[in-house]
């Protein structure tokens, strides 16, 4: 029975995804109406398109391109939230909020270390151009992508 085989495959795919740390498969599946095949394709697309985003954000911050880093962080956060990548979403949320607050500062103050550290609420941080701000995002992606890739390869 072809329908039974497809259901068994979908169940096996879902079981593999549910074992991925940092992935809320139920939340991601809800976003795609419970269609496992669609969810798998979107996760694979996430891996393909966003695997280097943490490093790219790091480079943008090092180059003082805060607005570009904020835009990329926002896109990454939205994709992660939609797909149920909760640990990535949480890490990016903190960075995204800090960058948004820094960009909302008056232009004359944006470049000062004191203002940026105060706006981000991160005492001791040299400002939002400090690449260390991207470290939690890099860590979350590095921890998620290998098991996710393994689950998708099944």
Tens digit of pLDDT for each residue in 50-93? 999 999 998 998 888 888 999 999 999 999 999 999 999 999 99
- Pick the more confident residue, 99 or 111: 99
| DSSP-assigned beta bridge partners for residue 23 | 85
- Pick the more confident residue, 112 or 58: 58
| DSSP-assigned beta bridge partners for residue 85 | 23
Within 2-134, where are the H helices?
Answer: 2-18, 25-31, 36-50, 53-62, 66-83, 86-104, 113-120
* 33 pLDDT tier (thresholds 50, 70, 90): very high
In a domain, 135, yes or no: yes
In a domain, 110, yes or no: no
In a domain, 50, yes or no: yes
In a domain, 122, yes or no: no
pLDDT at 116 over 90: no
In a domain, 76, yes or no: yes
* CA gyration radius, the chain: 18
In a domain, 136, yes or no: yes
Give 86's contacts (C-beta < 8 A, 6+ positions apart): 22, 23, 24, 27, 80
In a domain, 125, yes or no: no
In a domain, 11, yes or no: yes
């Amino acid at each position: 029975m072809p329908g039974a085989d497809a259901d068994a495959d979908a169940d096996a795919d879902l079981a593999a995804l549910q074992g991925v740390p940092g992935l809320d498969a139920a939340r991601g599946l809800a976003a795609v109406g419970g269609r496992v095949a669609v969810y798998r394709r979107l996760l694979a697309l996430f891996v393909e398109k966003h695997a280097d985003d943490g490093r790219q954000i790091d480079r943008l911050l090092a180059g003082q391109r805060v607005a570009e880093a904020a835009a990329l962080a926002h896109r990454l956060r939205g994709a992660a939230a939609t797909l149920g990548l909760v640990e990535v979403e949480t890490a990016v949320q903190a960075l995204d909020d800090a960058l948004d607050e820094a960009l909302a500062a008056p232009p004359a103050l944006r470049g000062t270390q004191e203002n940026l550290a105060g706006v981000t609420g991160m005492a001791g941080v040299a400002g939002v151009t400090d690449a260390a701000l991207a470290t939690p995002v890099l860590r979350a992606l590095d921890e998620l992508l290998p098991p996710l890739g393994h689950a998708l390869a099944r």
